[in-house]
Chain A
């Protein structure tokens, strides 16, 4: 009995160590001269695609459609009014559904990055590759240049081969860090995003099968406080903030107005930088290169 327990503990320890070895934290990290914090505003522009994948009813899809018809335009308008360069994580299929909005985002200098072909990563390797290539081709056609970032669980090897330099889907650190595949290869910058700074956690009814008792019906004032506090704690320590928004949620007028207040307040402090995710990733790779690629 004891022998089995000891073996189990050893196995758990090995798993944790192996997992930790995939992440390389950047020692002595600092921002460029004059910058105290980088804030990445990111928009996950899946509109109705996730609801479609989950086979949810038409009115749920229409709720997501708001993001493409209305919400994305409002977020672009908001970011442009503040000179903020945002990153829009875009499923390839969205290029077929809402090309006008994406072209407008590109024209305003926002980054278009990968968010999976149809908001899923197939388990079959061939199909996964097929989906990534389709998405890359669709985003390239819209943006005029290939994407270099993703928010997905696509295989790191595939991403590297296709020219991707960063992902944004983990939270192993407050600051940007490096992440590798299970073999310790195929290094990517990881720009951490935290579910606590994600609009869907506060405003999206029936998000991934949550029950009615667990609904998310917060008002903007509450979320303003949460987002501002997240910013302030990072600002104090010269950190990083990745704000995850969804156009079908934050594109609602009451929330865009809240974000307008939030950005205005952020800008009242010195040393706040609003780059795209690509700019942050390139800065990290140039200034603090990983130990091995």
Chain B
């Protein structure tokens, strides 16, 4: 067995702080991801989800308020959009694009495809890509597998086929991996060195885990804790000259009782000189130009041995 398989998805060591260089001498990269899904669990967006008033808030008022805050601080975001949302609200997609943000895919209806047959997953990727192409005029560069509040695990679910299918469909990046805090390569085949650029995600910087999480009534409303996590990570990464990424949901963060926390945090971000704030596709460009797989994916020789009595 190749030693990485079933244990690791990337090479042995991250890029050090001093190895990182950002465009125009910028000091630190910041990425904002806005998830337009209103799915509550692994089944993806359901009729019940769409009939909720907060879903409507998220598409209309909440989205407008989040867009306004981004504009106030001259920040651009990557929108992770389930294809069904583009069908439901195409004018919102146009509006987001007009403001200079990027539209990426977040599944067909943000369903968990990790247990599906390859062909089933492939069809869903194909259809979602086609729908988003129809409403944006181009195929999305990035594909997200973001988690939902009622998922068993908080990092998103990937199947053994996902990376290969995304590469075949022409995707340039996977929107959320968690094995690093900078862009890195997710390897699907070590022998063939087949990999996709993967952007970092961490649920401690995702609003949905701090705002009435996991369901209303559990008293887990912690916007201040969310803000402290954002602030501590951004300041630490800025000092290192590294990378910061956060994830927002307009149907959650858009409410006034929470939005002020976002506003104050982005004001702080805006005050830091030398930030580079790309969208997903721009990161992919920068990575391809400066940290290409051919020279920067360092897969060591296998030293793994199988033993009776041990997991292989």
Contact = CB atoms under 8 A, between A and B. Distances in A.
Interface of A: 48, 52-53, 56-63, 65-66, 68-70, 73, 93, 96-101, 117-118, 122, 127, 130-131, 134, 203, 205-206, 212-213, 215, 217-222, 252-254, 256-258
B49 interface: no
B154 A206 contact: yes
Given A117-B310, A118-B310, A60 B153 contact: yes
Nearest to B16: A73
Interface stretch (B1-9, B58-66, B76-84, B93-101): B1-9
A192 B222 CA distance: 33
A101 B300 CA distance: 14
Contact of B10 (A69, A217, A218, A257): A69
Nearest to B201: A59
Interface string B139-154: 0000001000110111
Contacts of B145: 59
B155 A213 contact: no
A59 B157 contact: yes
Contacts of B202: 252
Contacts of A256: 236
A130 B214 CA distance: 43
B311 A52 contact: yes
Contacts of A61: 6-9
Contact of A63 (B155, B237, B240, B311): B155
Contacts of B254: none
Interface stretch (B126-134, B224-232, B277-285): B224-232
A53 B236 contact: no
A67 to B, nearest CB: 9
Interface in B76-132: 114
9 contacts: A58-B160, A65-B8, A69-B10, A118-B310, A130-B309, A217-B203, A217-B204, A220-B228, A252-B204
Given A96-B303, A206-B153, A254 B229 contact: yes
B233 A252 contact: yes
Which interface residue of B16, B184, B226, B236 has the most chain A CB atoms within 10 A?
A: B236
B269 interface: no
Given A213-B220, A257-B236, 10 more contacts: A53-B311, A59-B157, A63-B179, A96-B3, A97-B3, A205-B153, A212-B150, A213-B214, A221-B228, A257-B235
Contacts of A60: 153, 155
B13 A69 contact: yes
Nearest to A98: B12
B173 interface: no
Interface in B1-59: 3, 6-14, 16
B7 A215 contact: no
Q: Which secondary structure dominates where chain A touches chain B?
A: helix
B307 A134 contact: yes
Q: Which secondary structure dominates where chain B touches chain A?
A: loop
Interface string B286-312: 000000000000000001110101110
Interface in B199-258: 202-204, 209-210, 213-214, 218, 220, 222, 225-226, 228-229, 232-233, 235-237, 239-240, 242
Contact of B179 (A62, A221, A222): A62
Contact of A254 (B178, B179, B233, B307): B233
B12 A52 contact: no
A98 B240 CA distance: 23
A131 B308 CA distance: 11
Contacts of B154: 205-206, 215
Given A206-B152, A252-B181, A100 B310 contact: no
Contacts of A118: 310-311
B180 interface: yes
B209 A217 contact: yes
A62 B153 CA distance: 12
Contacts of A217: 203-204, 209-210, 213, 222, 225, 229
A205 B203 contact: yes
Given A134-B307, A215-B209, A69 B12 contact: yes
Given A58-B158, A205-B203, A217-B209, A253 B233 contact: yes
Contacts of A63: 155, 178-179
A62 B3 contact: no
B65 to A, nearest CB: 24
A134 B310 CA distance: 10
A100 B155 CA distance: 27
B235 to A, nearest CB: 7
B8 A253 contact: no
Which interface residue of A58, A63, A131 has the most chain B CB atoms within 10 A?
A: A58
Interface in B140-196: 145, 149-150, 152-158, 160, 177-181, 184
B180 A66 contact: yes
A122 B307 CA distance: 14
Given A97-B7, A205-B203, A253 B13 contact: no
Which interface residue of B12, B214, B307 has the most chain A CB atoms within 10 A?
A: B12
